[in-house]
A and B are shown apart, each in its own frame.
Chain A
């Protein structure tokens, strides 16, 4: 099975202290450490496991700048065979629909049976997978946490609110957005990354993809961020301050006094 996994380079929440910048329109990005979006990593692992069992190959695609190449290499160190970097000045500032349009063009350049995305990325829209499926006119299943490969179709499990699971059959080719916990992604060591350090990763711009530069990017974005802030403390909210131990102590006290714990 030929599988394309769409991945994104994001600031790693576990390794960063996220603060709003002075302009108030984004987070401070100077000292950030980036890595592959966690959901996408699960998707790549799942794709590799399918290929290990059923044959085929995994390709990872991302939209970004030169620095985004590092996440492609990391996923290739995991076991993805190919990486594709979609990069062009015209792509900068694209909204979800723009990204989906770029990915659609990339899908059409290849011959894929299955497209996977992470369920969501750092910004939490969870929109690209669905839009991509719609643009491709492929069936779509979101929040997938189980995949079984059948003949020309897949059986997929989906996580439902409250922990329930629903099982669906879905025709190939299709788009799936992958939920974390579907598998245990393998570790990628420095040695693995070095092994793929010199593998050529093709970069594709607007003309390579046959995309009108005006149809994507900031200007074409239908959704524009106009503000970014930490919400004001509302009524009844209380910020606990101090060392970890002090915060914990205060929290326990509060929970006890309000009847949360006995």
Chain B
């Protein structure tokens, strides 16, 4: 097709051929970009190892789902849609942008294939893409400047405000879209004016609008617009590219890698050091993340990739109740530290500074309940729990443990439970059942049962939670299962011991439990404690252990096969409106959402409602295990928040499937002054009320 304007490749500015700029700009920018990226890669290369090169199939699947498919974005509908438009716009326009750059050198350049029918489709598509991106950018700008969503705000405790970065980048993108469209619009307007056959412009696109607007403009105006918009595009394009690695928009480049390397296994905690087995832990000089140098390369990639969208913190229960923790700033402060110590220009500053108490406050590190809401929400696979646990490991190593946690830890070491209760009383909760049936206590050699009921400390010793243990035993007995408990041979499962950074104590508890479980000869394990379920399933990592089931899975299975039948709610219970609270270690960490609900729904005529925050957006009740002993700085208890949520949903009974949730929620009902109005019950207790009736 004939052109009516001089192309940038053929144009001369004050006698200087413009093609010189078209060559110099990309070369200079590419060199600068390569230099910046090399500097940014340096800390990753120097970082500790992280094994993330396995299972490429699943990793590619994740890239397709989370990166290309933008899977998590619609969880925030408005921002998500805006992002999806910009994301796909970028992908579509990347070909066009590359073509533009080359066109400045060789005016007739077209990528192979685009001079066919495919090109007709592509060029129309990219016109719409540019227009859609422009509209999305304006919408994003309006949101940021006028609506100011809460999750984008910066607290006083974080002195750097990155809002300008966001606005600058929105500006860059808007300019790119306008420049590309103007470049083309001017060319087509000139073709029309010259009576030539004109290039097709998709109607109602930016380029089309520019063409219509400029149909009556002087040829010199069109020529000027064509050339200026070309070089504006060229310069902004490369400025944008080199700006990306300097701030939160690095995610444009890194997110595909971050998603590829994201965690594949749920519920587990990473080893103290990749490549060092549990039995060799004693050989390590140091534990955990004490200085920046102790982070793994994936930790640093997380820092780089954080887009500062605030979704993690928006879902963080600790942040919600005013604890000094906001996962977003775990990433941002990590990135700030990286950029400050590994600057693009100047020498790297390596320090042995302890990051606990400097970069991150100690309270910040202990405030996390490891509920996993942040990781579940992050659209690009950033992780927090492993970093928190690793920083705790280093603090434990230094003896820097809150006083309130020291006693329970010492009790765990000496007695195998955080309460300091006698080992021989671990099965005392069964005494009340003696008249109904016998619970086998597999303490002596030779004792065996088909199924092992792993009780764990809280249900074994806490007076209130013993009722959960008894309900569990009644269910197993009713279903005709030959089961037993380990009694004094059972130790705390260690889920929180590990998550609070006391790795060696966890290792001891784990070893003792594995040995005891194997000695019991059981072919399967059942537990009613999601924390025990999680750690045995995901952390013990012992191929010898029999499979473990949470009681809700057991119940669901046995209700479906007819072994357990549940009766109606009865007269009094008929007035009740139930809601199910997802325990973090059952739901988010193990994806068990439906079975407990199915069990509740199996009660004839039961009235169950859902809370606004449910399933993988469940709101942590306050944490289990050692978290019960931690005295957090907070404005309100998480449990109180949760009880209010249940009330808003119209429920008066909160059913949960975790003894810690039950403890926190029952306490919260009292603290909130809702006794008599609201109640909490464990799934097992609820089932026992209706079993066989």
Contact = CB atoms under 8 A, between A and B. Distances in A.
B239 interface: no
Contacts of A125: none
Contact of B504 (A16, A186, A187, A191): A191
Interface string A172-198: 000000000000111111111010000
Nearest to A78: B399
A33 interface: yes
A244 B463 CA distance: 8
Contacts of B399: 78, 186-189, 192
A15 B464 CA distance: 20
Given A15-B410, A33-B414, A191-B287, A186 B398 contact: yes
B424 A31 contact: yes
B396 interface: yes
Interface residues of A, number: 22
Interface size class of B (residues with CB under 8 A): 20 to 34
Majority DSSP secondary structure for residues of B touching A: helix
A184 to B, nearest CB: 5
B411 A187 contact: no
A17 B420 CA distance: 9
A243 B463 contact: yes
A12 interface: yes
Interface in A37-58: none
A14 interface: yes
A244 B422 CA distance: 18
A78 B505 CA distance: 16
Contacts of B396: 187, 189
B508 interface: yes
B400 A12 contact: no
A189 B505 contact: yes
Given A16-B420, A17-B422, A190 B413 contact: yes
Given A190-B505, A191-B504, A15 B420 contact: yes
Contact of B401 (A187, A191, A244): A187
B422 A14 contact: no
A27 B45 CA distance: 61
Contact of B420 (A33, A184, A185): A33
A15 B411 contact: yes
B508 A33 contact: no
Given A14-B420, A15-B410, A31-B422, A189 B403 contact: no
Nearest to B507: A190
A190 B410 contact: no
A82 interface: no
B214 to A, nearest CB: 73
B34 to A, nearest CB: 44
A35 interface: yes
B107 interface: no
A5 to B, nearest CB: 16
Given A14-B407, A17-B422, A31-B424, A187 B505 contact: no
B505 A12 contact: no
A187 B400 contact: yes
B553 interface: no
A63 B452 CA distance: 45
B414 A15 contact: yes
Residue of A16, A33, A245 contacting most chain B CB atoms (<10 Å): A33
B415 A15 contact: yes
B502 interface: yes
A14 B505 CA distance: 19
Interface string B489-512: 000000000000011110010000
A145 to B, nearest CB: 16
B450 interface: no
A14 B414 CA distance: 11
A245 B502 CA distance: 32
B406 interface: yes
B216 interface: no
B494 to A, nearest CB: 12
Interface string B392-431: 0000111111010111011101110000101010000000
Nearest to A187: B401
A224 to B, nearest CB: 31
Contacts of B422: 16-17, 31
B400 to A, nearest CB: 7
A187 B410 CA distance: 9
Contacts of B464: 245
Contact of B397 (A31, A191, A245): A191
B424 A189 contact: no
A136 to B, nearest CB: 31
A194 B282 CA distance: 8
A209 to B, nearest CB: 31
B411 A190 contact: no
Contacts of A184: 403
A146 B88 CA distance: 65
A12 B420 CA distance: 9
B409 A187 contact: yes
Contacts of A185: 403, 406
Contacts of B503: 191
Interface string A67-105: 000000000001000000000000000000000000000
B406 to A, nearest CB: 5
Contact of A33 (B403, B407, B415): B415
B181 to A, nearest CB: 63
Interface in A17-36: 17, 31, 33, 35
Contacts of A33: 414-415, 420
25 contacts: A12-B414, A15-B410, A15-B411, A15-B414, A31-B424, A78-B399, A185-B406, A186-B399, A186-B401, A187-B396, A187-B400, A187-B405, A187-B406, A187-B409, A188-B399, A189-B396, A189-B397, A190-B505, A191-B281, A191-B287, A191-B504, A192-B399, A194-B504, A243-B463, A244-B463
Interface of B: 281-282, 287, 396-401, 403, 405-407, 409-411, 413-415, 420, 422, 424, 463-464, 502-505, 508
Given A187-B399, A194-B504, 18 more contacts: A12-B410, A12-B414, A15-B410, A16-B420, A31-B424, A33-B420, A35-B410, A78-B399, A185-B406, A186-B399, A189-B397, A189-B399, A189-B505, A190-B502, A191-B281, A191-B397, A191-B504, A194-B282
